[in-house]
Amino acid sequence: MKKKENNILLINCSLRKDGANSYLANYLKGSFKKKNITIKHLNDFYFQDCISCYKCHQSKRCVLEDDFYNLVNYFYYNEIVIFFCPVYRGGMPGKLKTFIDRTSVLYLEKKIFENKVGGVIITGREEGVGKLMTASTLINFIFSMGIILIPPVIFVNIIDDIKIKNIDDIKKSINYLMKKIFILNNKINN
């Protein structure tokens, strides 16, 4: 995989490949066909929980053998990263939290995500504070890894499994977010 300007990584953090997050990621990819966009489903990767062995403090590499570095490579070779994240039981999916926990080794090593540009789209039911808690954790991760977060964080209300409330407004928000991301990414890379 060769590093190119304006490569875009869309991470579907849902455990479902055919839900609202996948629909929105595919919409974004279809709307920007001239861009080099890759969609990765978090559920296609196998991660073990961090075992707090602290061996990464010496070796600067996680000792667990799984798909962690396979996903990290996609971050490395893309300048733009957009997270599509559902809310499960008031927070982010456990698999995403496991990935975030494992990135501690990258923080120790070096900030390979630094100066990448990112965006966040959160999906869930209307009620509750789960969207805010999920966004807060994801934003904290993004900032800690040196990714430049472009506002707005988009909150999507799901009615039934894939039915999205105010879908036309959401699509406009996604287009607006991407235009802002492209502007900043071009300034960083030129």
Give pLDDT tens digits for 108-118: 666 678 888 99
* Residue 126, pLDDT score: 67
- Three-class secondary structure of residue 84 per DSSP: strand
Q: How confident is the model over 28-55, as pLDDT tens digits?
A: 999 998 889 999 999 999 999 999 999 9
Report the CATH fold assignment for 8-189.
Rossmann fold (3.40.50)
Look up tokens 């962690």; give the residue. 68
Length of the chain: 190
Look up tokens 């869930």; give the residue. 124
* Residue 109, pLDDT score: 64
**What's the start-to-end Cα distance of the chain, in Å?**
22
C-beta of residue 120 within 8 angstroms of C-beta of residue 138: yes
Q: What number is the average pLDDT over the span 4-9?
A: 75
Model-level pTM greater than 0.85?
yes
Pair of tokens at residue 168: 């036309």
CB proximity list for 120: less than 8 A, separation 6 or greater: 82, 83, 85, 135, 138, 139, 142, 149, 153, 154
* Residue 107, pLDDT score: 76
Q: What number is the average pLDDT over the span 174-180?
A: 87
Q: What number is the average pLDDT over the span 122-151?
A: 86
